Structure 1
Amino acid sequence: MKALCSLLLSLAAAPALAGQAVDYEINGQPYQGYHAAARGEPKGSVLIIHDWDGLTDYEMRRVDMLAAAGYDAFAADLYGAGNRPVDTAAKKAETAKLYEDRQAMRERTLAALAQSQRLGDSDTVVMGYCFGGAVVLELARAGSAEHIKGYATFHGGLSTPEGQSYSADMPPLLVAHGGADTSVSMDDVAALSQELEAANATYEIQVYSGAPHAFTVLGSERYDARADQHSWDAFNDLLEETLGSPAP
């Protein structure tokens, strides 16, 4: 209960954002991420990939939480500076552009990773929410980025495009999934598990009973405090295993 209250207070009653916007370019086009430096001696870096809303205060709050715990943290921008879709149709359109152009998805993610590593520690865990979770798995399958120590996806898309696969030398992967998710089914979870087993990959899948899709989004109708806390604890374990001490 104490840990849950701490998490809720960190998100709901957080002070003004402690980090800062970071402008960067990809192929001559402007993007704007968000960075917060680790308090004290850095334990490593965390790169956060946003959901289909684009980079918003939600990811920024998570960046601040990680920085307060001693991690250099950076939230990527995969849509472009100022492009933050509001209605559902616009959000679907933005994600479709990248789902249909996987090379662009990887290029933008790797550019954000490079920016993150320029600002902080090179050893990095990459995590993402919803659409961002699918992007994390895309990066994990590509396997070309240096200094990535782990991956985590929260209520993310889990399907594997034709022609792609996982490898045995992939860094550890955490999959946090809601048992009541109607957008990504338990059949999808099982299929991913079979792929990872076939590849002899190192992974952990946690399923939280009754939790719907987007269960970590505080203030939404889908928010599930228990699943949010348990998935954050599991993420802490991954950080401790791969980078050092966990976040509170």
Structure 2
Amino acid sequence: MRFVFALLMIGMGASLVQAEVQTKEVTYQDGDVTLEGFVAWDPAAISEPVPGILVVHQWMGQTNYERGRCKQLAELGYVAFALDIYGKGNRPANPQEAAKVSGTFKNNSALYRKRLNLGLQQLLAQKGVDENQIAAIGYCFGGKGVLELARSGADVDGVVSFHGALDSPSPEDGKNIKAKVLICHGADDPFVPEADIDAMKKEFNEANVDWQMIYYSGAVHSFTQPMAGNDNSRGAAYNAKADQRSWVAMKAFFAELFD
């Protein structure tokens, strides 16, 4: 009996190990440009296909921040893939470089949307992903990115923009949006003009987009990112309460999409 019990304990231990979130880097191409994504999943959760979540990085490129979010999403039972817009090894060293690199894509929506959709293709190719249950989330530069992904006509169920740019550069593209939209926005964000918000709302309403927007009091830009510091006067700062509340809102949004 002791031997049998020991075998059972070993088996339980193996199961516990298998239940841990696993990760890997994924290299893919856009022509001659090599891109490097990151995927996280819980092997115990994907015995049957589960929803896949695309994660779009902020303007410093894909970092440990996005990878951490992928792991959190995997703990919730999803397969999460952090794409790479900039290219392998192309990581800005400071905000000035980040503004230049991100601006290249903001000013070239065709290239931006191409890289977003290439990332989506990689997510769909991952083991355990239910191709009929897909969402995307993005932060700052990536918050705008998920809206651009939706505007490209991508077949995704929903997108969540965290403190992203909310301009409407091509209002006619609103008609391409198939996804439901959740926007989590800092009420005191100085980098997002009210005129942009009004234009976005007009675009979405005229296209009959199913959208919702939540304002977080006392929050400025980058409110989900601890690396932004805590000085609101700089216009970008972490806000723990807004971070937690927006994550809860995202989970409720996903429950609506996938349940």
Q: How does 1:73-222 map to 2 (within 5 A)?
A: 73-120=80-127, 121=129, 122=131, 123-143=133-153, 145-146=154-155, 148-162=156-170, 164-167=172-175, 170-221=178-229, 222=237
Q: Deviations over 1:206-230 (max 9, x none)?
A: 0001101000002432110111111
Q: How does 1:50-65 map to 2 (within 5 A)?
A: 50-65=57-72
Task: Answer yes or no: is the 8 Å Cα contact 2:40–2:71 preserved in 1.
Answer: yes
Measure the CA separation in 1 of the matches of 2:197 and 2:215: 9
Q: Deviations over 1:50-89 (max 9, x none)?
A: 0100000000000000011110000010000011111122
Measure the CA separation in 1 of the matches of 2:194 and 2:248: 22
Measure the CA separation in 2 of the matches of 1:156 and 1:104: 18
Matched, 1:229 2:234: no
Aligned Cα root-mean-square deviation (Å): 1.8
Task: Answer yes or no: is the 8 Å Cα contact 1:181–1:213 preserved in 2.
Answer: yes
Task: Answer yes or no: is the 8 Å Cα contact 1:179–1:186 preserved in 2.
Answer: no
Matched, 1:27 2:31: yes
Measure the CA separation in 2 of the matches of 1:161 and 1:188: 9
Measure the CA separation in 2 of the matches of 1:177 and 1:20: 31
Residues 86 and 181 of structure 1, relative CA distance in 2, 3 Å threshold? same
Q: Which amino acid aligns with 1:189?
A: I
Matched, 1:241 2:256: yes
Higher relative contact order (CA 8 A, sep 6+): 1
Work out which of the two has the higher radius of gyration on C-alpha atoms and give 1 or 2.
Answer: 2
Measure the CA separation in 2 of the matches of 1:92 and 1:115: 26
Where structure 1 has 5 or more consecutive residues not aligned to the other structure, the ranges are 1-16
Task: Answer yes or no: is the 8 Å Cα contact 2:22–2:40 preserved in 1.
Answer: yes
Question: Of Structure 1 and Structure 2, which has the larger fraction of its residues in helix?
Answer: 2
Task: Answer yes or no: is the 8 Å Cα contact 1:141–1:164 preserved in 2.
Answer: no
What is the CA-CA distance between 1:138 and the residue it aligns to?
1.1
**What TM-score do you get using the length of structure 1 for normalisation?**
0.86
Where structure 2 has 5 or more consecutive residues not aligned to the other structure, the ranges are 1-20, 230-236
**How many residues get paired?**
227
Measure the CA separation in 1 of the matches of 2:206 and 2:121: 31
What is the CA-CA distance between 1:93 and the residue it aligns to?
1.3
Measure the CA separation in 2 of the matches of 1:100 and 1:201: 24
Task: Answer yes or no: is the 8 Å Cα contact 1:176–1:206 preserved in 2.
Answer: yes
Amino-acid identity (%): 34
Q: How does 1:5-24 map to 2 (within 5 A)?
A: 18-24=22-28
Task: Answer yes or no: is the 8 Å Cα contact 1:168–1:200 preserved in 2.
Answer: no
**What TM-score do you get using the length of structure 2 for normalisation?**
0.82
Measure the CA separation in 2 of the matches of 1:168 and 1:49: 20
